[in-house]
Amino acid sequence: MFGMLLRAWRYRHFIYSSIKNEFLSRFARSRLGALWMVIHPLAQVTIFAFILSAVLSSKLPGIDNRYAYALYLMAGMLAWSLFSELVSRSLTVFVDNGSLLKKMMFPRICLPLIVSGSALVNSLLLFVAILAIFALLGHLPGWNILWLPVLIVLNVMLGAGLGLVLGVFNVFIRDVGQVVPIVLQFWFWLTPIVYIPTTLTGRYKHWLFLNPMIPLVNAYQNILVFGKEPKWLPLTGTAIFAIVSLIFALFFFRKAAPEMVDTL
């Protein structure tokens, strides 16, 4: 496993230039270029904000900004969009690059690394956009925002780990590629991004602690919206889950790699 990472290190220029290429290719023949990466999640925030806040007039306790709900949505969306981009793009990365894998020899681990890198760039862009909107709406996140890098690392480990396992699965069982987007949508609604966790009643409420995304999304909301420190205890659970899934993913990937090209 160490050798695998060492080989990837030797290809760092390639990984870097691929991420750059992917970023630049958004500008080719599209006027707003990479802005679309920011516009999509923000448009979703606007839709939810409009429907839930203006139409259903839900209230957010504990904060007195009248745009409070929009802020809350944006924080959750920042966490979720990074995670879902990592999972859904890692899912198809090997299948999409099948012909390249068959013809060129390079460390295969570069592909998921490129995906992770470019998802990270997109997330940072979204973060900058969100900060600007926060400032416009008259909200300052406070010092706890400095915890954000820790949360991002956790988020990337979780998303990349799960994505890598699913991506390898998808090479052998293509149905995985169809199922995962549906599961992701379910998962989105099982995570308090659009709604407040305290509004949850229902029978299944007690099972939600199994969702490793909840502490993460909650931490994003705490540091960006409520100016509070993340809740470390539940986050530890997420961290353990992320580390285990990443290690398993690398191990699984290494076992699968020899047969992957045979099947593509």
Enumerate binding residues for other proteins (CB under 8 A). 10-11, 13-14, 17-18, 21, 24-25, 28-29, 99-106, 172-173, 252, 255-259, 261-262
Nearer to other proteins, 13 or 59 (CB): 13
Residue 142: φ, ψ to 5°: 90, 175
The helices-and-strands tally (H runs, E runs) of the chain is: 10, 0
Q: How far is the CB of 32 from other proteins (least distance, A)?
A: 16
Nearer to other proteins, 188 or 248 (CB): 248
Torsion of CA 77, 115, 32, 138, to 10 degrees: 30
> CA distances (Å), 190 to each of 53, 56, 95, 195, in order?
20, 20, 29, 10
Nearer to other proteins, 186 or 251 (CB): 251
Nearer to other proteins, 177 or 237 (CB): 177
Nearest alpha carbon to residue 158 among 220, 100, 204: 220
Q: How far is the CB of 226 from other proteins (least distance, A)?
A: 43
Amino acid in the structure at residue 188? F
Nearer to other proteins, 33 or 234 (CB): 33
DSSP symbol at 34: T
Which residue has 């890198």 as its token pair?
117
Q: How far is the CB of 106 from other proteins (least distance, A)?
A: 5
Q: What is the C-alpha separation between 189 and 193, in angstroms, rounded? A: 8
Nearer to other proteins, 45 or 164 (CB): 164
Q: How far is the CB of 43 from other proteins (least distance, A)?
A: 25
Rounded to 5 degrees, what angle do the CA atoms 34, 122, 219 make?
145
Look at phi and psi of residue 131 and say left if phi exceeds 0, alpha if psi is from -120 to 50, else beta: alpha
Q: What is the C-alpha separation between 77 and 13, in angstroms, rounded? A: 31
Q: How far is the CB of 196 from other proteins (least distance, A)?
A: 41
Q: How far is the CB of 101 from other proteins (least distance, A)?
A: 7
